[in-house]
Every structure is written in C-alpha cells, then in structure tokens.
Chains A and B, each alone.
Chain A
C-alpha cells in the first residue's frame, strides 16, 4: 500500500469514534437522499404503470339507447382504439352484520377476453360463474367478505345473496379502504338479475393518439353529435383525467412531502458532515505543514485528503445504499398498500445505482473541499504554528458575558459556547430548523384536525339517507315514522346520489344541492361572500372546487346553470371551503321552481335527540331496519361520524408521513449537535487535562459539557419555535391548496401538544447529544489529555 494512501486510512483508523460519526452522518444523508430517489423512481413509475396497464377508459358514456349502437362499426372508427360495455350500478352490500355500504357493481362484457379496463385475477376464479361475483381485493380489508362467502346485496327492497367466487385486483379504482366502497364484478345476466337494470347502458372508450383531456373531450363531443344523429341520446359523458389514477393527488402530496422534508434533512446532514470534515482537517493542519516541510506538493497533500474523504464516502455508501434501497422499497410498499397498487419494479435501473454511488463519492468531496483547500493552501509556517483552537480564542461577545450572579460553571459553559461563534451559529441554526420542521409537523396536523372538526361541525345532521331515485317527501317520511330517537328530519334534493369528497371523486361535473337556505344542518366555512339569503333572487353558493371548474368567476357574477336541461342564470353570492367534489348550493324553493315542480326529494337528514356515538349508531341501525321493511331504493345510509372517518382515512397517510419525516429531521439535527459537541470536546482535550490538573472532578467536567449542550438546545428550541410560526403558515397554505383547491388555506393552528412534545424531545435529544461525547471526554486520563495535540 502506498504511504500517502496508508496515511489517509490510518488517520481515519486513529480516531475511530470521530470517523464513525462522519460515516454515520454521511450515511444518514445518503440514506435519506437514496431512499427518496429509490421510492420516487418506484412510485412514479408503478402507480402510473398499474393504472395504465389496466387500459383505463378515456371516456365513459351512458345511454339508454345503446341497443341501437353498432359496436363493431364503432370499434372500426378511426380514432377509436377500443370500446367495451361495462355497466355500473350502485347498490348496497352488507360488510358486517347489519352494516351496509355502497357497492359498485360492474357488469362486465367479456371476462375471458377483455380489451380494456382489465382486471387481474388475485385468487379463486378469474371468471365468475353465472350468479356469482368477484370482489376487488381491497374490499376485504373493510368487510368480512372473502372468497367462498355469500354476500348480501340490497337492490331496492330486495336482498340477494351472491356467492363470491374470486378476488380481483383493479388498481384503476380508488382504494376501497379509503373510499369505503366495495367493488364487485359480475357477468351481464347476473348484473341484470341483481340490479333489475338492463345491460349495455354504459360504454367505455379508449381513443387513439390522444395526449390531453381536451383532445379526448373534442373527439367525444363529435362522437356524441354523431350518435345523436343515429338516435342515441347520451345521458352522461364522463372524461376523467387522462391516464391519471384517481388518487394520484395523494401520491403527489407524499412525494412532495418526502422530497421536501428529506431534502431538508439531507441539507442538515450536509452541514453536519461539512462541520465534521472541517474539524478533522483543522486538526490536520500541522500535519499538512509537516508533509509540505518534507517535500509534499499541494497536489500530493490534496490527493491524501481527498483519498481520506473518498474512503469515508465509500464506507458511508456501503452502509447507506443497501439501506436506501431497502427503505425506498419499504416506503413504496407502504404507499402501494394504502393506494392499492402493486410494486412492479423488481430491479432498479442501473443509472439509479450509479447515481447513488456517485452521490456517495461526490457528496463528501464537495462538502469537505472548502476545508481541504483551506488546509492545503495554508503556508508551511502557519501550518506548523497551528495549535487548533486558540487559547485566547474567545470572541468579543464571549468576553462580554459576565454576570456576578451566574455560577462560575455556568459562566464557563456560556463562554465556551460562544467561543466558536460560527460553529455555534451553524449548530443552533441546524437544530432550530429541525425543531421548526418538527413543530410545523404538529401544527399542520392540528390544522388538519381543526379542518376535520369543521367538516364535522358544518354538517350538523347525525345520519343521512341518500336515495337512488327522487321521490315525494310524503312517500319517504312515513317509512321512518316508527324510528325512535329522531328529533327531526330535513329533506334535500339535487345531490348526485353519493357522498364523495374531492379527494375520492373523479371529475363528474357539478353536483347541485338544493336545501332550505335557512337550514341549521349545514354551516360551512364561508371564505368569501355570504350564504344563501332566500329564494327571491336566483343565487347560488359554490364550493372552491366548483369555482375552479367554472374558471374562478368573480363574486356577484351571473352564471348559466343547467338544471335538468333548463338553463338558468344564477348569481354567485358566496364561496365555501369543504372537502367535497364540485358542488353548487341553491335554495330548495328556487330549485323546485326551476327544475323540480313535483317537489321531489332524494336526501333525508336525520337529527337525533341524543347525540352519543353509540346512540347515533343505534339510530343508523334502526333507519336501516326501517328501510329494509320499505320500498325505498337507497343508495347509502351514513352517520356523520363515519363520514368524518372516511375523510380522516384519506388524510391519515399524510399525517403519519408528516410526523415521521419531521422526527427524522429532528434526529438528524440532534446528530448535528452531537457532532458539534464532540468536535468541541476534541478541540479542548488539553483544556480538560488542565481543568483536571487543577482539581476539576470528572463529574464537574461532565456537567460542564452537558450544560453547554443544553445552552445550544434551549437556544435552538427558542429559535426553532419562532421559525415554526411562519413555516406552519406556509405549510397550511400548501396543504389547503392541495386538499381544498387553489387559493384555499388550512387555518394556522398552534398545537400546544406539539409544542410540549417538541420542547421535551429537543431537550432530551440535546441532553443525549451532549451527554454521550461528554462521557467520552471524562474517560481520557489527565496525562493523556495534557499530552493531547
């Protein structure tokens, strides 16, 4: 082995603790970056691949006239890649005894040779026998349904038992665990037998050579006109976002969160490594002088120290790269589980490994290059005169710190802390950033909790029954006459039938909710304008999602609103924030005058007399029982508490990630502090010897360093909590926009619980970070400490 290389390696072996700390810091930084790169590579590819491999529809048309359609001719049309009927009926299914949720029942045209909207066989039959069905695999997690079980499906008044003969995997659907639906697939005769609805009324289309949703819409508009000319009237056209999974937004949020927080953690790791490298090289200055004195040129000295840094990089890479791959995969599997898709990437691309290796080599070189060049450029004379920290190296600020009331030990700790002011500033800033992010994580969490509370508070009914068909109020109400614990029932109309949040829904136009303008059951957060005043003037209130859909019209503007084919001009008087799909709210009297002359209703809002969770759930059970005895064709029955849980389930993955990543940042910053304390102790080894020589006990010295660490911690907590304030506002703004729409913000909430956890955690981390190196300091004998150079 050549001597310069041996020197580099031996220098690292000579101080194993410090070398390990650098390798650890580098490895953590690399691990963070590598983990992000790996999971980013996997997730961005795989969710999209899972989705596109199913050959999802570019457009979905419904019509009662498809009997007249020449499907073979349509398939031959230029521009049409594939066309297939896939009927859909929303029914209800019993997921646990007496617990019913919405069933999305698909009538599949051809299980044997499907051409689009493909299903993967997970277990059991891939093709259901007549009278049986397949269910989507995610549904098993929210129900007791499984292969071999006989499901109970409620279609109108009828309850039909349908055996489940297979489990399918349909990654194109929103995950059942989050949306609380069961997806089931049957052949056409079974579909008609269960639903009582004719088949071939819903057509899926895939188009050739389309790259945007607008291009799809243009083709479909033209097709619609042609079909109309053939006597086929379309009842609905749905053009979803092109090649985008319904929950792509969640993945985007997670990737953004992961990317931004991990980048911060990485930057902190980088600061930590550069500090450590600077300290190592500061201790090597005299050796650089010796090397130059015995004939080493600058290039050769540079080579020795770059070798040292590259050895560190390789060591860190050996630890970090496998960890990055493992954790990247683990995170990807976690997300895939939550979003119900498969991880398809079995082998990461070679360029990713090359990028990781290059990062592990270049990162430490880049971080330590300034310190190396500084050391290499120092003159031989200055290098040989270097004794590390100057004995008189206190800054002017440190000298000013003098207080007669302060115990000498504390005074010494304060002065020592101020001795290396640049390092102190970096350490405090790094730690403060960690504290700020950690605290922000809790504040955003609290903001989301407030949002949930607002959602809960805005809808003040206890149980909602949504009907599949509009009926007269007088037909609906008698069904529930015998149900106890009901204070009152309010009836609404105009809804689309299913209660969906924006984060669950696909783009299906605007839902219109007709409700009494003076209802006390709906109290949303009004962001601009006002709530509905009455029915004299045609006015509407929109949620932010609808506002976006209409191209952000100004408040007070008149808009054409199509209700049941009648176009009416309505004035926009207010905008509300809610976790919902696009909705327009209109007074019920006005709505009835426009489009509902028979005063039909489709929603019943129940208010219970007693409000406890169990009481409300009992009420829900009683309502279900009443429905079972009636002719009502119900889409769903949902308690408000369940609705909040659904929304919470959508946010939970993000909340968990926020807190986990914030903790990671805090750990990295605590490591930074531990390293700064270690450096400080190393530099003052001789001073420790002097202190001991003049009578300081190990306990006193130990206390000295711990006090210094706590000074840094307290300063960091104060600065960090101050920083958390604007940071939380920015974060609330970002998440608000993401979940509620452009321009919306989550309300900034100060989390007292988060404050306390941050304070305690930081102080504990700070205590540990100074305690560990301090213990090492007192293990050095007085003789060794005094002899230390």
Chain B
C-alpha cells in the first residue's frame, strides 16, 4: 500500500519559490498498474521522486507498506529502497563499466536480500524474462535503447521488490519497443507487483488500469479504467 497525504514540494531558488507539487493525496494498492501523466513541468517526475524517496517532501507524508518514507535518512532510504522499490529511469542509467548481468548482480550485492548462491541464477532468469539473456555478458553500450531499458527493468527487479516505478521508460524508445516494454510492465503488475509509470505519451497511457493526471502540481484527474490485457 502506497499512501501520499497532502504532499507538497516547493523548490527555493533565486529568491523565489516554485511549487512543483501542491497538496497531493494519493493511494496505490498492491498489484495496481498505474500511470501518472501530464505535460512537461506538471510535477510527474517530482511525484515519482517523492514516492521513491529520491527527494524529500516539503510538507505531507509518504507511507509505503507501513514505512514513513519521509522520515528516513539517506542511508536508511537507500537500503529501504533497495528492498522495496525497483526504479527504471528514462535514460536507463546502467553502470557503463559493468556488463548487463553484472549490473543486475551489483544491485543484489548492494542490498543482500537474495542469498549469494542464488544471485547468478536469478540474474540469468531475469534477463531471460525480459528477453535479453543473450546479451548478458555485453557492456550496456553494445545494446540498443530497448535492450538497455529491458536490462534496466531486470535490474529493478533484481531484489524482487513489491513496487516498480518507472520514469518515462519509453521516452527514448521507438513505438514497437515501447509496446514490448509496456507489455512487460503489465505482466509484472499481473504477477502482483505495484507498477507506477510516469509518462507523457498518450498512446502509452491507454495501456494502464489507472490514470493519474497532474497539472501545475495538482491532481487534475484520477481515473480507474478497464484495459485489455
């Protein structure tokens, strides 16, 4: 369960304040497949940063599976995040000096929730699951954008987190590859994981069960809908 209550984020700078999020209250249930949409500057990525603890709220609370995320310090947050949330970035953000499988193993090594003896097999399975197992021993630079994004998803799943968040995961991909990635997310949601995706792509947003639309840092609409699987 993800609960955001009256979350605001105000950036101070240059003598003026900019309100990126304004009194957002939201709740996501386990297994939800939700999209956060809105125009550029609407506060989507900021909201995602609040969810993942990447950034701190100015006011309000973020409670995820009983943990008050906004109260954790940097070190506790990192550890909590590793266990509970998998993050997929728009620009993949793979470690360029490690191979694809090593990127996944690194995530496991850092958090240590998966027993050491099972890490290699799990990493291989995840790569198989996202369909890039043949690229396991290649450096990220050798992969296409779609393949890199799949590697990033595999890494996000490395520690089997209950929540997966993705920031514009198809923003850098062609339409065919985007479809494949979204399908992958859908399957993960079907397997019981909460998947929250930030996107400004209208065609992508049609694939989600729930659509939270932001405008000027506020929730403009929050629609639940039935979508074909």
A residues whose Cβ falls under 8 Å from a Cβ of B: 2-4, 6-7, 10-11, 13-14, 286-287, 290-300, 377, 379-381, 384
Contacts and interface: CB of A to CB of B under 8 A. Distances in A.
A384 B97 contact: no
Nearest to A298: B75
Contact of A295 (B49, B81, B95, B96): B81
15 contacts: A3-B106, A7-B106, A10-B97, A290-B89, A293-B89, A294-B81, A294-B87, A295-B110, A296-B110, A298-B74, A298-B75, A379-B55, A380-B53, A381-B55, A384-B54
A361 to B, nearest CB: 23
Contacts of B74: 292, 298, 377, 379-380
A298 B77 CA distance: 10
A295 B83 contact: yes
A368 to B, nearest CB: 18
B79 interface: yes
A171 B108 CA distance: 68
A6 B55 CA distance: 29
Nearest to A300: B110
A381 B102 contact: no
B160 to A, nearest CB: 12
A297 B79 contact: yes
A10 B102 CA distance: 11
Interface centre among A287, A299, A381 (most CB of B within 10 A): A381
Interface string B148-178: 0000000110110000000000000000000
Interface centre among A14, A290, A291, A300 (most CB of B within 10 A): A290
B188 interface: no
Nearest to A9: B97
B101 to A, nearest CB: 10
Contacts of A4: 106, 109-110
Contacts of A2: 109
B105 interface: yes
B107 A294 contact: yes
Return the 3 tightest CB-CB contacts between A and B, nearest first. Answer: A295-B82, A10-B97, A3-B106
A3 B100 CA distance: 12
B78 interface: yes
A381 B77 CA distance: 12
Nearest to B116: A2
A295 B93 contact: no
Contacts of B97: 7, 10-11, 13-14
A258 to B, nearest CB: 41
A298 B78 contact: yes
Given A293-B54, A294-B82, A295-B79, 6 more contacts: A293-B93, A295-B78, A296-B82, A298-B75, A380-B74, A384-B89
A529 to B, nearest CB: 71
Contacts of B79: 295, 297
Nearest to B55: A381
Contact of B54 (A11, A297, A381): A381
A290 B140 CA distance: 15
A387 to B, nearest CB: 11
B98 interface: yes
Contact of A3 (B77, B87, B102): B102
Contacts of B24: none
A295 B107 contact: yes
B2 interface: no
A286 B94 CA distance: 11
Nearest to B82: A295
Contacts of A13: 97
B111 interface: yes
A385 B81 CA distance: 19
Contacts of B108: 3
Given A4-B106, A4-B110, A296 B93 contact: no
B75 A290 contact: no
B194 interface: no
A2 B112 CA distance: 12
A2 B116 CA distance: 10
B52 interface: yes
Nearest to B111: A295
B55 A294 contact: no
B110 A293 contact: no
Nearest to A15: B97
A205 B37 CA distance: 100
Given A291-B110, A295-B110, A3 B98 contact: yes
Contact of B102 (A6, A294, A296, A377): A6
A366 B3 CA distance: 44
Nearest to B76: A297
Contacts of B96: 14
A2 B107 CA distance: 11
Interface in B10-59: 49, 52-55
Contacts of B102: 3, 6-7
Given A293-B87, A297-B79, A287 B95 contact: yes
Contacts of B106: 3-4, 6-7, 291, 294
Nearest to A11: B97
A10 B54 CA distance: 26
Contact of B52 (A290, A293, A297, A379): A293
B9 to A, nearest CB: 11
Nearest to A292: B78
B137 to A, nearest CB: 13
A7 B98 CA distance: 6
B155 to A, nearest CB: 7
B93 A3 contact: no
Contacts of B105: 3
Contacts of A293: 52, 54, 81, 87, 89, 93
Interface string B101-136: 010011111110000000000000000000000000
Contacts of B98: 3, 6-7, 10
